[in-house]
């Protein structure tokens, strides 16, 4: 009986230790989530004083697309064309993050659209009250067969 009580006591201490560790881990997770919430806002283009743009303007953007865009073989063989809409965030330093294609046109076209945007140089960031801010951007990339 004495050994049984000792075993139960040790088991309870182990359970208490596990519960404390779980609470500590839970606290860490909550702190990480709070850090994410504190991120700086991302503005829509119509809410800023100066809109974000490809460095060098629209002409340079078109040149970049023409020189870097490759029509995917899979899509060409299937006779698929369409416009891929790539969404991303232009950070305060002009870098592009959170690059995604929410609505698929064709897997090969989507992948090429993502590749092109990821290869782009830094953009000129949007400005609000004279300061660079994070902003949302959508770029339509047309893929047309000749």
pLDDT in tens, 5-41: 444 444 444 444 444 433 333 444 445 555 455 578 9
Apex 68 CA angle, 79 and 143, nearest 5? 25
Query: Helices 57-68 and 107-119 sit at what angle, rounded to 10 degrees?
Result: 130
Q: Where are the domains of the chain?
A: 1-39, 42-143
Per-residue pLDDT tens for 51-74?
Answer: 999 999 999 999 999 999 999 999
Q: At the topology level of CATH, where does 42-143 sit?
A: TolA/TonB C-terminal domain (3.30.2420)
DSSP string, 7-60: HHHHHHHHHHHHHHHHHHHHHHHHHHHHHHHTSPPEE-GGGSSB--EETTHHHH
**Rounded alpha-carbon distances, angstroms, from residue 113 to 55, 98, 108, 136, 142:** 19, 14, 9, 17, 9
pTM of the model: 0.72
């Amino acid at each position: 009986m004495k050994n049984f009580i000792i075993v139960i006591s040790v088991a309870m201490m182990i359970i208490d230790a596990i519960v404390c560790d779980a609470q500590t881990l839970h606290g860490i997770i909550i702190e990480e989530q709070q850090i994410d919430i504190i991120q700086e806002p991302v503005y829509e283009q119509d809410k800023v004083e100066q809109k974000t743009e490809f460095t060098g303007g629209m002409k340079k953007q078109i040149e970049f697309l023409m020189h870097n865009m490759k029509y995917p073989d899979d899509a060409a063989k299937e006779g698929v064309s369409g416009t891929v809409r790539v969404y991303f965030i232009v950070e305060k330093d002009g870098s592009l993050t959170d690059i995604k294609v929410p609505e698929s046109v064709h897997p090969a076209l989507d992948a090429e659209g993502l590749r092109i945007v990821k290869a782009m140089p830094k953009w000129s960031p949007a400005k609000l009250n004279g300061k660079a801010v994070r902003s949302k951007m959508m770029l339509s990339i047309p893929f047309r067969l000749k």
